[in-house]
Amino acid sequence: MATSTAHVAPSHARDEIIFSAGQPSHLPERALNLLSNWHLSASRKAITRHYTFTSFSKAWKFMSAVADECKLRQHHPSWSNLYNKVTIEWTTHKPEGLSIKDVEMAEFCDRCADEIGLKV
Ligand SMILES: C[C@H](O)[C@H](O)[C@H]1CNC2=NC(N)=NC(=O)C2=N1
């Protein structure tokens, strides 16, 4: 029928991630896997997660491990810490959007948090 294309989601569908230019083809699937723990920001260009540890010491250990990886990867989060809680946001500024580096860093954060141990 004439309106059949209306059923096809436009590339700016509300719930779609906006990726940085020139990303590998497997990135969307890998990024979607993160969305059980991470939230897509309102801009749809960033992912955010809150971690709650059992102490400030563990939160700081986590941030220190992530900071070392940031230095290696030359990729940096927007983040905040309050006592035992850490909030992290990953996005890429140039080219703007979510990139493989954001996804790799988010996966790294999840592995670190698992090793350190989150509050249950
Ligand atoms: C030159 C240097 O690699 C760039 O400025 C990096 C630094 N860290 C960065 N971090 C993040 N999250 N996004 C970027 O686009 C970015 N750019």
Residue range 42-58: mean pLDDT, rounded: 97
Lining ligand 1 with CB less than 6 A are 74-76, 91-94
The residue whose CA is least distant from atom 16 of ligand 1 is: 75
Q: What is the pLDDT of residue 4?
A: 39
Indicate the average pLDDT of the chain. 90
Domains detected in the chain: 17-116 (3.30.1360.20)
State the chain's maximal CA–CA distance in angstroms.
62
pTM of the model: 0.88
Tokens in use for 90? 């990953």
Q: What is the pLDDT of residue 3?
A: 41
Q: What is the pLDDT of residue 15?
A: 55
The residue whose CA is least distant from atom 7 of ligand 1 is: 75
Q: Which ligand 1 atom is at minimum distance from the Cα of 93?
A: 15
What is the best residue among 92, 98, 100 to mutate for testing ligand 1's pocket, by most ligand atoms within 8 Å of CB?
Answer: 92
For residues 16 and 107, what is the distance between their CA atoms, to the nearest angstrom? 20
